[in-house]
Amino acid sequence: MTSAPPDEPAAPRLRRIAHLDMDAFFASVELLRYPQLKGLAVVIGGGRRKVDELLHQSPDGQGLREPHFIPVADFPLLKDYVGRGVITTATYAARQFGVGSAMGMMKAAKLCPHAIVLPVDFEEVRRFSRLFKSTITEIAPVMQDRGVDEVYIDFTDVPGGQREGGRVLARLIQKSIFDVTGLTCSIGVAPNRLLAKMASEFNKPNGISIVHEEDLKDRIWPLNVRKINGIGPKAGEKLASLGITTIGQLAAQDPQWLIERFGKSSGAWMHRVAWGRDDSPVVTESEPVGMSRETTFDRDLHAVRDRAELGRIFTDLCERVAADLQRKGYVGKTIGIKLRYDDFKIATRDQTLDRYTQDAATIRRAAGLCLKRVPLDRKLRLLGVRVGTLEREGDVPDGPPEPRPPRSREADPYTRPLF
């Protein structure tokens, strides 16, 4: 390790914020599955994965084909599409024809009839979304999730984050994401989130743009006001009707004039952002520590006399917690219950499993065991089920486990559930 000599003052650390956005994300994910389509015009939209099933079925009816080996000529084309579907995204090759997000498929077919149409695979998209984000946080831990394909990253204190205005670190992140996923992204690095978001679009696809405070006049002011994250179609229209289309024109307005037309906070905000000012921090979302579902009964229920009804509610709560975990992509290890008695006293119990789960039946069995450890002589007002000690599904080495079948009935404490 070498360090700077003590008499050489360290360069001042500037706030450097990056915005990273994946290129043609849903389409690029499909190209990983069908690399033979690389470079071609492909649009994502329309029907379900039935297309895939058809594609994968070999023409002679002899089983399934490998996705890689399906001839390009067998893919469905936009010109043959009939329906009211809308395009979700398009490859850059398709965009050259003027085709893009939110355009009706029939209209797009007129512009680019030979484009290949594929449906979106949300599960696959989510998997790659998690993968590229975890690749980033391994390098730069302060990351804010902004949706399926974009994040903000605070470069300020990360090694390489100051070099060449952030370009060195941006390059490393871009390369790491490509190595791990095979996908490209574009990154803008700037003094704040507002400018970084605009910068990430400057060099799409697979580009890096570095913006400094002094670039405001040349690179930001010529842009349309709609490029400001937060100025939507309505505000854009109103500004246009006032003769303001570029960010530079917005910056030239007297703040008071803007406040009179857009209200105190919006008017002041518009003036601030037009001058490239934004102090908002990159906020790392905290991971949830647990997920729970509970219900208060319409009438107080008794563990023995209302056993059937309680049993149904209990199972339902477990299923709902399991569905929450699955939907959000978590697995948990600690299963807990909460009861409130008719005297409003609360009892909780929990149990930690050997393995992580998101399975309703596993949760139900463990929660049933917890229930055996609480007094049940009073009536109940409320019942809750919680799963804690969460990990992201996929981060757990052995994956979401299946419950092991009990060795024998005698050894199985779950065979006599209370509810």
Angstrom distance (rounded) from CA 292 to CA 321: 6
Non-local (6+) Cβ contacts of 67 within 8 A are 33, 34, 55, 56
Q: Judge whether 30 and 121 are in contact, CB under 8 Å.
A: yes
Using the rule CB under 5 A, which residue among 16, 19, 20, 21 binds Mg ion?
21
Point out the residues that are catalytic.
Answer: 150
Q: Select from Mg ion, ligand DCP, none the partner in contact with residue 102, using the beta carbon and a kind-dependent cut-off of 5 to 8 Å.
A: ligand DCP
For ligand DCP, give the closer residue by CB, 42 or 274: 42
Query: Per CB under 5 A, does 22 bind Mg ion?
Result: yes
Strand partners, 189: 18, 210
Query: Per CB under 5 A, does 359 bind Mg ion?
Result: no
For residue 265, the minimal CB distance to Mg ion (Å) is 30
Q: Write down the residue that tokens 């033979």 correspond to.
A: 36
Query: Per CB under 6 A, does 30 bind ligand DCP?
Result: no
Which long-range contacts (C-beta less than 8 Å, at least 24 apart) are formed by 237-241?
A: 238/262
CA angle 184, 227, 236 (to 5 degrees): 145
Query: Per CB under 6 A, does 43 bind ligand DCP?
Result: no
Q: Judge whether 291 and 321 are in contact, CB under 8 Å.
A: yes
Query: Per CB under 5 A, does 20 bind Mg ion?
Result: no
Q: Select from Mg ion, ligand DCP, none the partner in contact with residue 274, using the beta carbon and a kind-dependent cut-off of 5 to 8 Å.
A: none
Q: Three-state SS for 210?
A: strand
For ligand DCP, give the closer residue by CB, 200 or 357: 200
Binders in 125-154 for ligand DCP, by CB under 6 A: 148-149
For ligand DCP, give the closer residue by CB, 1 or 102: 102
For ligand DCP, give the closer residue by CB, 88 or 174: 88
Question: Which of the ranges 20-28, 232-240, 265-273, 274-282 carries the binding residues for Mg ion, by CB under 5 A?
Answer: 20-28
Q: Which two tokens stand for residue 87?
A: 């395009």
Using the rule CB under 6 A, which residue among 17, 21, 225, 335 binds ligand DCP?
21
Radius of gyration over every alpha carbon of the chain, rounded to an integer in angstroms: 28
